Amino acid sequence: MPPGIVTENDAGSLVTVYVRLRGLISDEWEEGSPPSTAQWVDRYIEKLPFGIGRTVSADPDTGLSDDPSSWWLFPNQPKISRKHAIIRWNEATQQFCIKCYGSNGADVNGEGSSPFPS
């Protein structure tokens, strides 16, 4: 597992946080600058692997559970797929990896990523 930081969550329990995700979400996103309607969203990852999508679904191939705390859900965002992306820790490279399954791709640190072929 990656190195983590022990902190207190909203419920007052101590948890290990591995990474903070921060991004912009908008239904009106086109190439270039974010639209004025884009909203900043934040999430701390406490469990790995971690899914991003519109619905919770287990994925035995990746080890992703159907526990809602293992997912960052965007149920009302049509440009985010049901299973849009999975974040995991690569022990060999000691890095976080994101695999995008969504047809709209994903940006990581401003770099675009196409969906991976099935």
46 — alpha (psi -120 to 50), left (phi > 0) or beta? alpha
**Fold (topology level) of 5-26+37-113:** Tumour Suppressor Smad4 (2.60.200)
Kindly list the domain boundaries of the chain, sorted by start residue. Answer: 5-26+37-113
Give the burial class of 46: count Cβ atoms within 10 A of its Cβ; 0-12 exposed, 13-18 middle, 19 or more buried.
middle
The one-digit pLDDT tens for each residue of the chain (118 residues) are 677 778 777 777 887 877 778 777 766 666 666 777 777 888 888 888 999 999 998 888 888 888 888 898 988 888 888 888 898 888 888 888 888 888 887 777 666 665 554 4
pTM comes to: 0.74
